């Protein structure tokens, strides 16, 4: 309303000034008797001068109202055409219904392109920020795992080792003096030894899963050589260099860690055989122990910690098979198909294929 009154009054002043200028051109200065005729002559008892003012005011406010109405219509049309941009829809203006100027049409298209570009930029920045945050979180998790592993190894693990050595000495002394050690002392020694295995399994879980600059064979050799010096059972392994993508190697290394950790904690085995070879365009990883085993069909969800192993195998397109017989042992086998493009041609020449039953030698 304020806009209408302001615009109408402005137009009225302009028209009144033009009318006065026109009368001045015809009659001269206002003291001329012709000017008084505007007040003396009337129509419907209203002086001609008042009629001129009324007509000019009507014309001014009519023109202002019409202009305002057209502006509002244009605003509605522009809003209607710009609304799809706000709703992330495709903006295609209709040529038949388009009544605003070509220049405005070009400006609208430019605005559309700007908004779409800004939207894509914001999405890219958001994705990059999320990826950077995830990467930072993963780095902090790895650092924290390494810190915990060092502290546990330097404190609790060393204390358990010292307690185990002390108990072993006490058992030997009792056997030398009395011919047999007390059962409570023997049980305590077994508990401490089991605690050592649990600690080593935990440290194995806390090891970094990434191989960095090492191949899978090199990483597993280092892992198994370290375990051989710390466990009470025999570890045999056969490892080959198998060409695999970096992601598949990292997942298989993590599968090896988790499988060996489960063996340490639950199997109570005296012998463990580890195999990693390539046969018939398959990368085969196998862990076999002679431990207590379990009933696979009766195993609860999460039992033996194999769910994570199966999930990791699925993530890299591998198959995971678990065979276990109570009191006889367990076999965990992962087979990953190898793309032919990943295998150097030279490695395929002169290679002898072996049956799976002969892969692990006693």
Average pLDDT over residues 298-318: 76
Asked whether 273 and 287 are in contact (CB, 8 A), the reply is yes
Looking up tokens 């914001």, which residue turns up? 122
Asked whether 35 and 27 are in contact (CB, 8 A), the reply is yes
What is each CA distance from 124 to 50, 82, 114, 119, 132, in whole angstroms? 68, 23, 15, 9, 12
Are 94 and 215 found together in one domain? no
Structure confidence at residue 78 as a pLDDT band (50, 70, 90): confident
The pLDDT of residue 276: 95
The pLDDT of residue 231: 77
**Distance (Å, rounded) from C-alpha 139 to C-alpha 127?**
18
Structure confidence at residue 303 as a pLDDT band (50, 70, 90): low
In this structure, what token pair is assigned to residue 327?
A: 């009191």
**Distance (Å, rounded) from C-alpha 246 to C-alpha 254?**
12
CATH number at residue 231: 3.30.565.10
In a domain, 225, yes or no: yes
Identify which has the larger pLDDT, 345 or 204. Answer: 204
- 249-258 pLDDT, tens digit per residue, is 988 988 998 8
Q: Mean pLDDT score of the chain, rounded to an integer?
A: 76
In a domain, 361, yes or no: no
In a domain, 324, yes or no: yes
Domain end call among 76, 100, 124: 100
Average pLDDT over residues 53-74: 80
Structure confidence at residue 31 as a pLDDT band (50, 70, 90): low
**Distance (Å, rounded) from C-alpha 49 to C-alpha 59?**
15
Identify which has the larger pLDDT, 319 or 352. Answer: 319
**Distance (Å, rounded) from C-alpha 241 to C-alpha 276?**
8
Q: Could you tell me the residue range of the domain that residue 51 belongs to?
A: 2-100
In a domain, 339, yes or no: yes
In a domain, 360, yes or no: no
Average pLDDT over residues 71-92: 65
For residue 133, pLDDT over 70 is answered with yes
In a domain, 236, yes or no: yes
Q: What percent of the chain has pLDDT over 70?
A: 71
The pLDDT of residue 102: 67
How many alpha carbons fall within 13 Å on the CB side of residue 293? 15
Domain end call among 57, 84, 100: 100
What is each CA distance from 241 to 190, 199, 217, 250, 273, in whole angstroms? 38, 30, 6, 14, 18
Number of domains in the chain: 2
- 203-230 pLDDT, tens digit per residue, is 666 665 567 678 889 988 988 887 887 7
Identify which has the larger pLDDT, 27 or 296. Answer: 296
Are 345 and 214 found together in one domain? yes
The pLDDT of residue 182: 83
Domain end call among 56, 72, 100: 100
In a domain, 34, yes or no: yes
Please give the distance of CA 37 from its chain centroid, rounded to a whole number: 88
In a 10 Å sphere around its CB, with 0-12 CB exposed, 13-18 middle and 19+ buried, how is residue 324 labelled?
Answer: buried
Q: Please write down the long-range contacts of 229-236, taking CB distance under 8 Å and 24 or more positions apart.
A: 230/200, 231/197, 231/200, 231/264, 232/193, 232/197, 233/269, 233/270, 233/271, 233/272, 234/270, 234/271, 234/272, 235/272, 235/274, 236/271, 236/272, 236/273, 236/274
Structure confidence at residue 96 as a pLDDT band (50, 70, 90): very low
In a domain, 298, yes or no: yes
The pLDDT of residue 148: 72
DSSP designation for 230 = T
Nearest to 289 by CA among 222, 153, 158, 197: 197
Average pLDDT over residues 234-245: 92
């Amino acid at each position: 309303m304020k806009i209408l009154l302001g615009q109408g009054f402005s137009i009225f002043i302009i028209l009144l000034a033009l009318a006065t200028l026109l009368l001045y051109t015809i009659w001269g200065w206002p003291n001329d008797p012709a000017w008084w005729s505007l007040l003396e002559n009337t129509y419907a008892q209203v002086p001609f001068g008042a009629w001129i003012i009324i007509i000019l005011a009507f014309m001014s406010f009519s023109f202002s109202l019409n202009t305002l109405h057209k502006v509002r219509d244009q605003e509605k049309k522009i809003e209607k055409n710009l609304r799809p941009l706000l709703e992330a829809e495709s903006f295609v203006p209709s040529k038949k219904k388009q009544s605003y100027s070509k220049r405005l049409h070009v400006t609208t298209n430019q605005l559309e392109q700007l908004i779409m570009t800004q939207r894509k930029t914001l999405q890219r920045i958001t994705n990059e920020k999320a990826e950077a945050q995830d990467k930072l979180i993963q780095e902090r998790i790895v650092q924290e795992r390494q810190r915990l592993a060092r502290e546990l190894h330097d404190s609790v693990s060393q204390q358990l080792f010292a307690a185990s050595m002390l108990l072993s000495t006490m058992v030997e002394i009792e056997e030398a003096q009395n011919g047999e050690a007390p059962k409570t002392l023997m049980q305590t020694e077994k508990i401490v030894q089991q605690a050592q295995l649990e600690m080593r399994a935990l440290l194995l879980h806390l090891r970094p899963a990434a191989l960095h600059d090492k191949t899978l064979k090199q990483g597993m050799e280092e892992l198994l050589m370290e375990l051989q010096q710390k466990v009470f059972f025999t570890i045999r392994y056969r490892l080959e260099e198998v060409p695999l993508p970096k992601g598949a190697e990292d997942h298989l290394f993590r599968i090896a860690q988790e499988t060996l950790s489960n063996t340490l904690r639950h199997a109570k085995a005296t012998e463990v055989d580890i195999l990693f070879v390539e046969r018939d365009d398959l990368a085969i990883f196998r862990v076999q122990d002679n431990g207590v085993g379990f009933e696979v069909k009766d195993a609860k969800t999460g039992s033996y910690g194999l769910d994570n192993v199966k999930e990791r195998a699925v993530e890299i397109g591998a198959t995971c098979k678990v065979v276990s017989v109570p009191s006889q042992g367990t076999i965990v086998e992962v087979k990953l198909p190898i793309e032919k493009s990943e295998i150097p041609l030279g490695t395929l020449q002169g290679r002898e294929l072996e049956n799976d039953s002969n892969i692990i030698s006693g």
